[in-house]
Amino acid sequence: MFSRTSDQGMGRLTPEAYPAVLSDLLASELSSTGAPVDVLICGMAGARQGWLEAPYLDAPAELGGLAFAAVSPVMPGSRLLPRILPGVCQKLSGAEDVMRGEETQLLGLSAMDPRFSGLVVMPGTHSKWVNLAGARIERFSTTMTGELFEILRTHSVLRHSVGDETGAADHEAGFDAGLASGLEAPQRLTANLFKIRAGSLLSGRSHGWCSGFLSGLLIGTEISGQRDWIGTGEIPLVGGTALGALYARGFAMIGAGTRIVDATEATLAGLKAARRG
């Protein structure tokens, strides 16, 4: 087992470009053996705009069956044998949803903790809230929290108010104020957002404070808007450590316990489990 990372992915590659990128990435491993090399892939390589479209499993979905539904792109003349794992979709009317990559992390989580049953939250560009029972996805829901943060601070009128000073002294105060607003009134998100603009014009709020408020407001809104998903058990937060800590703060404000699960560990555990089948 080994790990290689690359910034080459769906956002940058045409389908035809994947084989060369993969061969380059695994060149030293290929040279150390004369045998074929299994490559198990999850995530956006299986999207319609990726390498080769992998079908979705329908939720409720048994993740033990992930590898059976994998697709195999061909790499003529190569000893690499790539397989791309499927994503999971939910066709329930009014609750249509899709995931790619998170299903593998969830399989990893269930491998690490086979008796876990309950809510899993996976913060990110498109955060996932998932009811997991063992290795079975019962239902899930996506919120666009991370992407909204990015486009609001880059393209909206709020770009004049926020800045990159995430380390600024009052970033944390802004974050807590935003979190409280979002938790208290998630139905007012589109109005509360403008408070950032007004706050910087009227109260001289700093860029750091406003950035913190925007982040806290969106996370608080996500948590409060889906409060009915939260049970009594500890909630695994699968994601980066820094982002996980921000969500943990939000859940703590409403009395929900959490633990952070590293996303890379969960992915690797999931790929191993899928390979074992």
**Of residues 138-197, which lie at the interface with its own copies (CB under 8 A)?**
141-145, 147-148, 151-152, 154-157, 181, 185-191, 193-195, 197
CB of 76 within 8 A of CB of 38?
no
Per-residue CA distances from 250 to 78, 108, 121, 177 (Å): 49, 25, 12, 11
Rounded to the nearest whole angstrom, what is the least distance from the CB of residue 50 to its own copies in the complex? 13
Rounded to the nearest whole angstrom, what is the least distance from the CB of residue 49 to its own copies in the complex? 8
Query: Residue 218, interface with its own copies (CB under 8 A)?
Result: yes
The DSSP symbol for 53 reads P
Query: Residue 3, interface with its own copies (CB under 8 A)?
Result: no
Separation between Cα atoms, residue 100 and residue 161, nearest integer Å: 34
Separation between Cα atoms, residue 69 and residue 55, nearest integer Å: 7
Cα 220 versus chain centre, distance: 17
Rounded to the nearest whole angstrom, what is the least distance from the CB of residue 195 to its own copies in the complex? 6
Cα 216 versus chain centre, distance: 18
Separation between Cα atoms, residue 277 and residue 271, nearest integer Å: 10
Query: Residue 124, interface with its own copies (CB under 8 A)?
Result: no
Q: Which is nearer to its own copies, 86 or 199 (CB)?
A: 199
CB of 224 within 8 A of CB of 247?
no
Among 169, 201, 252, 254, binds its own copies (CB under 8 A): 201
Binding mask 21-50 for its own copies (x = CB under 8 A): ---------------------------x--
What is the binding site for its own copies (CB under 8 A)? Answer: 48, 89-91, 94-98, 126, 141-145, 147-148, 151-152, 154-157, 181, 185-191, 193-195, 197-199, 201-203, 218, 221-222, 224-226
